[in-house]
Amino acid sequence: MTAPVTWDGSAAEALARLEGRLFATVPEAAAILRYDPRTLRAAIVAGEVPAVRAGATYRVRVAWLRSQAGLGDPETPAKAS
């Protein structure tokens, strides 16, 4: 059994912990989005949150989490004005 994820702080701090990873687990994503993991899982199953299935679990793209937190994707270069 995996220990519960109890990340306090801002979404930016939580996303910094995922640096270098492409996907986050449902508990990690739920902590960033401030959702209950069961609510997030139900949204994934309903197709409201994009995720991939890995065996019996789901994974949420870190890039999508960044966009939802309003932080953008750090790997995408900023457009020059």
12 falls within a domain = no
| 51 within a domain of the structure (yes/no) | yes
Structural domains counted in the chain: 1
Is 24 inside a domain boundary? yes
Please indicate, yes or no, whether the overall pTM of this predicted structure exceeds 0.95.
no
Does residue 63 fall inside a structural domain? yes
Q: Hey, how many other C-beta atoms are within 10 angstroms of the C-beta on 48?
A: 10
Residue 48 lies inside a defined structural domain of this protein: yes
CA distance 31 to 9: 10
Most confident by average pLDDT, 28-37, 51-60, 68-77? 51-60
Q: Is residue 78, in this structure, part of any structural domain at all?
A: no
Q: What is the pLDDT of residues 33-56, one digit of tens each?
A: 888 999 999 999 999 999 999 999
Is 73 within the bounds of a domain?
Answer: no
Q: Which domain holds residue 24?
A: 17-68
Cβ proximity of 64 and 50 under 8 Å: yes
